[in-house]
Amino acid sequence: MLTVGNTFPQFDLEACVSREPGKEFKQVASKDVQGKWMVVFYWPKDFTFVCPTEIAAFNSAQAEFESRKAVLLGASTDTAYVHLAWRENHPDLKNLKFPMLSDHAKRLSGELGILTGKDQVALRATFVSSRARTRSPCAPRSSWIRKAPSAGST
């Protein structure tokens, strides 16, 4: 599983972003949020019992994420069409303010290390990625390195 110090993988996924006809879907890519904090949370499957409560709680905190210049993205391995159907059929999901990413091919969830068992269902997981995520997490910036004084210098 991806952990502190790892770089969040690049992604380009279809997302359900609205219930308005003709505006339901769009591509969301990591390059779209570059330079911002990003919070990505996964739930196992759409149309499950606990997930809407969790998703609604994230949605109620959307303004707080925005005030901190953080982009909120929800995701599961269901298709964007399943996300839309769930939003249409569950009162707590009708007015979501963040994209529901479709990781149907399970590429991002696989890179994150959150798929379980032979069914390859995503675990519940939340990742917070900093603005500096494009920089290698292990490579120090040159400004962090001080040269040691050479022998005989004062």
Q: Which of 51, 73, 80, 108 does the annotation list as catalytic?
A: 51
Closest to 103 (Cα-Cα) out of 93, 111, 91, 95: 111
How crowded is the C-beta side of 63, counted as CA atoms within 13 Å? 1
31/11 Cα distance (integer angstroms): 8
Q: Put the strands of the sheet holding 37-42 in their side by side order.
A: 25-29, 12-16, 100-102, 70-76, 37-42, 125-129
State yes or no: is 51 an active-site residue.
Answer: yes
The burial class, CB within 10 Å (0-12 / 13-18 / 19+), for 107 is middle
Annotated catalytic residues are 51
